[in-house]
Amino acid sequence: MDLPAFRSSLAAPAPPSGLSLALKALWLDARGDWDGAHEAAQADEGGDGDWVHAYLHRKEGDAGNAAYWYRRAGKPVCRTALDDEWTAIAEALLARR
């Protein structure tokens, strides 16, 4: 799946099957379900889930918590627009599939 297909899937009532928890979290976030996205990211123990977790807390406005999760993910604190960060994370995760 590439980014255009992932974005197109946002029109569906449920995320595509076979997504990692981190990609599911991005999908839920794009659909406006921050709580569901946070739950999926938190369930993904590892770098990808930690990266999405960081993004979600940054989006929430909790910079301190976001910084913690960026450190856990081994990523620098992001300063770009939230939409740009979402896209960058999605592209990176989709490229690993």
Q: pTM of the full predicted structure? A: 0.96
The predicted-structure confidence for 53-88, as pLDDT tens digits, reads as follows 999 999 999 999 999 999 999 999 999 999 999 999
From residue 72, give the alpha-carbon distance in Å to each of 5, 24, 33, 80: 29, 20, 23, 19
Give mean pLDDT, residues 14-39: 97
Give the rounded distance of the alpha carbon of 61 from its chain centre.
15
The predicted-structure confidence for 5-21, as pLDDT tens digits, reads as follows 999 999 999 999 999 99
- Residue 97 predicted with pLDDT over 90: no
pLDDT for the residue numbered 45: 85
24: how many CB neighbours lie within 10 A of its CB? 23
Identify the residue whose tokens are 């910084």: 67
